Amino acid sequence: MSSSQLRWGIVGCGIISGVFARDLVYLNKNPRGANKIKHVITRVASRSPAKGQEFIEKNIDEYYDDVYGTKVVSYEDIQIDPEVDILYIGLPHTLHHSFVIEAITRGKKHILCEKPVTVNSKQLELILDAARENNVFFMEAVWVRYFPLIREVQKILYEDKKVGDVKRIFSDLSVDMKRLHGDDWVPSNRVADKKLGGGALLDITIYPITYSRIFMDPQSDPKSNWKIVSSMVFESLNGKQEDEVDFCTSFIISDQTHKQQATGISSFSSDVSDGLIAKIDGELGSISIYSGGIGPAPIKYHIKLKNGQEIEKSFEDDLDGTLGYIYEAIECGEMIVAGEKQSSIMSWNESQLIMSILDDIRKQNSLSYEVDL
């Protein structure tokens, strides 16, 4: 990459790749961050050239061909394409691991990989080994982590201590899949397909786990301080017994050292009501965190203190019409320009911690995937 331009290759032309690409187009027109880096999409990979072409026209249209020569290539070719600095991985979970390792070893590409970064810890170790050996930047795209609200609320909680000692965190990310994909969303949808890592835990419960981590005491170490109990309700979303996956998952995290509990839930049956995605209770009051509508994006907080004081702040204007994937893209650009291999917001160690929690919850509920064997 040059110090002013980061060239992206988008891998997979599914739902989230389109959303991410549109936010990159925004960043191209409105460079943000310390280095005002321009984000350029030069390549798109799809199994179908026609689908890739349609993706470009729908999401990147005005940059297509005449400006940046954006074109559709194969999954194999994008890994070694000299016009690409960083690959955005928008593939189903089970396909992240092998594709990322190949892209790092064959093409020495930097990587922004969608959540969950892999299906289990073993796969993640292999990716990190490859990233280390090939000296590339690698980051998990847990987009909510990079929103400005997160750091502000962490400061309010643990530096300003506005709500006193934090006692309890509640978090919910539930998504009504029928509303999102229509009544005919099964059986083709990846969340119903066990071979593609289907189920709530890896797809959406990862958000309440993330919010628990973000808003629990910063000194709390999940490995030594957390005791987790969890439960799952299993169902086959497509009628095939072999595709039975968790439809609803909940957990309680107890940190005895810091005297905090976090509870989280997610389900595919309903959206989160009123956008309340997290609530933090302290001895002096509470902070509620809201998304703009559906989904986990943290864009407003409301502090309510027992002394009657209330403070509300919205971060919506900063989005400027984007969906907030700009923040993770900016982080990639800034880190790569600085020569960093990982981000402190979502470090390799942090991805490992979250992955070990996902492994643990799956083990507690006897949920295994083919790739675990």
Ligand X SMILES: O=C1OC[C@@H](O)[C@H](O)[C@H]1O
Contact residues: ligand X, CB under 6 A: 175, 180, 203-204, 295
| SS3 state of residue 122 | helix
Q: What is the Cβ-side half-sphere exposure of residue 268, based on CA atoms within 13 angstroms?
A: 26
Please, which residues have CB within 8 angstroms of residue 31's CB and are 6 or more apart in sequence? 37, 38, 39
Please, which residues have CB within 8 angstroms of residue 251's CB and are 6 or more apart in sequence? 205, 208, 209, 228, 229, 230, 231, 263, 264, 265, 361
Q: 265 touches which of ligand NDP, ligand X, none (CB within 5 to 8 A by kind)?
A: none
Residue 203 DSSP one-character state: I
- The reply to whether 145 sits near ligand NDP by the rule CB under 6 A is no
Q: Is the CB of 70 or the CB of 322 nearer to ligand X?
A: 322
Q: Using CA atoms, how far apart are residues 371 and 365, in angstroms rounded to an integer? A: 17
| SS3 state of residue 326 | helix
Q: Are 106 and 79 in contact (CB under 8 A)?
A: yes
Q: Are 58 and 18 in contact (CB under 8 A)?
A: yes
Q: 175 touches which of ligand NDP, ligand X, none (CB within 5 to 8 A by kind)?
A: ligand X
Q: 190 touches which of ligand NDP, ligand X, none (CB within 5 to 8 A by kind)?
A: ligand NDP
We find the least distance from the C-beta atom of residue 206 to ligand X, in angstroms, to be 8
Which among 8-16, 29-37, 169-177, 337-345 is the span making contact with ligand NDP, rule CB under 6 A?
Answer: 8-16
**Six-digit token string for 132:** 């280390």
We find the least distance from the C-beta atom of residue 191 to ligand X, in angstroms, to be 6
Q: Using CA atoms, how far apart are residues 277 and 173, in angstroms rounded to an integer? A: 6
Q: Is the CB of 282 or the CB of 295 nearer to ligand X?
A: 295
We find the least distance from the C-beta atom of residue 204 to ligand X, in angstroms, to be 6
We find the least distance from the C-beta atom of residue 242 to ligand NDP, in angstroms, to be 16
By beta carbon distance, the residue nearest ligand NDP is 14
Residue 248 DSSP one-character state: E
Q: Which of 9, 92, 264, 285 binds ligand NDP (CB under 6 A)?
A: 92
- The reply to whether 46 sits near ligand NDP by the rule CB under 6 A is yes
Q: Is the CB of 127 or the CB of 204 nearer to ligand X?
A: 204
The C-alpha torsion from 341 through 346 and 348 to 352, rounded to 10°, is: -170
We find the least distance from the C-beta atom of residue 91 to ligand NDP, in angstroms, to be 4
Q: Is the CB of 148 or the CB of 164 nearer to ligand NDP?
A: 148
Q: Is the CB of 92 or the CB of 282 nearer to ligand X?
A: 92
Q: Which of 32, 43, 93, 110 binds ligand NDP (CB under 6 A)?
A: 93
Q: 42 touches which of ligand X, ligand NDP, none (CB within 5 to 8 A by kind)?
A: none
Q: Using CA atoms, how far apart are residues 126 and 138, in angstroms rounded to an integer? A: 12
- The reply to whether 95 sits near ligand NDP by the rule CB under 6 A is yes
Please, which residues have CB within 8 angstroms of residue 296's CB and are 6 or more apart in sequence? 144, 173, 204, 207, 211, 277
We find the least distance from the C-beta atom of residue 203 to ligand X, in angstroms, to be 5
We find the least distance from the C-beta atom of residue 11 to ligand X, in angstroms, to be 16
- The reply to whether 143 sits near ligand NDP by the rule CB under 6 A is yes
Q: Which of residues 281-340 bind ligand NDP (CB under 6 A)?
A: none
Q: Using CA atoms, how far apart are residues 72 and 231, in angstroms rounded to an integer? A: 43
| H or E segment to which residue 166 belongs | strand 166-172
Which among 30-38, 59-67, 87-95, 268-276 is the span making contact with ligand NDP, rule CB under 6 A?
Answer: 87-95
| SS3 state of residue 144 | helix
Q: Using CA atoms, how far apart are residues 147 and 318, in angstroms rounded to an integer? A: 10
We find the least distance from the C-beta atom of residue 295 to ligand X, in angstroms, to be 5
Q: 46 touches which of ligand NDP, ligand X, none (CB within 5 to 8 A by kind)?
A: ligand NDP
Q: Using CA atoms, how far apart are residues 129 and 116, in angstroms rounded to an integer? A: 18
Question: Which residues of this protein are in contact with ligand NDP, per CB under 6 A?
Answer: 12-17, 46-48, 51, 90-93, 95, 114-115, 141, 143, 190, 196, 203
